[in-house]
Structure 1
Amino acid sequence: MYEPIRSKSVHSTMADGTPDFPHRSRGEELDIQLAGHLAALLAVTDELRALEPDPGLDTAADRLAEQVARLRGGRPPVRLQVTAAEPAPCPATLHRRAHTLAARALVVAASRADTAVAILTAERMDAHAAALEPRELASR
């Protein structure tokens, strides 16, 4: 009914003691995931900075870039050079996206007990929520 397996499995077991591919620890995987979330948040922050210049966004972008570099072993993140886009992105949409990305980063930061990133992402969530409140209240 079934054809027998003719080749060695691609999934190595640790029984023989020599894995055939490198393994990362849970901490390393969380660092990679957290750096990705923070880099995405940085890209949205840079986009918001181009639309709505604000010293608070400049400071946040610098702090995010610093944390991404730390998590990537000193390699700085690629920064977004925003040009005029057609149609122009809606700032409220960008604030919602940034809030969601900050929330994802906060979950990962909490699971790896990274207090500095947890505080930074919580602050970003608050800032983006505050930026949304007047707009959403006015549209009701």
Structure 2
Amino acid sequence: MYEPIRTKSVHRMGGGRADYPHRSRGEELDIQLAGHLAALLAVTDELGLDDAARQIAAQVARLRGTEPARRADRTADETAALHQRAHDLAARALLVAASRADTTAAILAAERMDAHSAALRLAGAGAP
């Protein structure tokens, strides 16, 4: 009824191929978390929040093993938009940190979310 398989399967069960590197789930989550934090660092630098930027840069360096690139110029014409973007990036970092049980990064991301929420509230209160 069925024709027999004549070639070997391209899918393997068990041991993987040795000709390319494999990463564990934890390593993949480290890479993802470092990316989210690096994006948050870029916005934090633009806002001129030096203390927060130093804390975030330390976490990125811990995850990547090297210091992150930093912005030299800090213009903030769209301060509210930058705070909203930073809040969203911190939220993404918090989700990844929670999934990998990285308490240090999760606390940092939650603190940044709170700080940017407060800044958005202040910006909204000052508007006419």
Assess same fold via TM > 0.5.
yes
The partner residue of 1:133 within 112, 121, 127 is 121
Q: How much is the aligned-residue C-alpha RMSD, in angstroms?
A: 2.2
Partner of 1:39: 38
Runs of 4+ more than 6 Å apart: none
Distance verdict in 2 for CA 1:22–1:37, change over 3 Å: same
Give per-residue Cα distances to partners, 1:69-103, cap 9 Å, x unaligned. 00012x0000112265xxx6310000000000000
The partner residue of 2:54 within 40, 46, 62 is 62
Q: CA deviation at 1:138?
A: 4.4
Structure-2 separation of matches of 1:83 and 1:60: 14
Q: Is 1:105 matched up with 2:82?
A: no
Give per-residue Cα distances to partners, 1:1-49, cap 9 Å, x unaligned. xxxxxxx98x65344x351321110000000000000000000000010
TM-score, scaled relative to structure 1: 0.77
Q: CA deviation at 1:59?
A: 1.1
The partner residue of 1:118 within 93, 106, 120 is 106
Structure-2 separation of matches of 1:83 and 1:34: 24
Structure-2 separation of matches of 1:13 and 1:89: 54
Q: Which runs of 5+ in 2 are unaligned?
A: 1-7
Structure-2 separation of matches of 1:48 and 1:62: 13
Question: How many residues end up aligned between the 2 structures?
Answer: 121
Q: Is 1:80 matched up with 2:80?
A: no
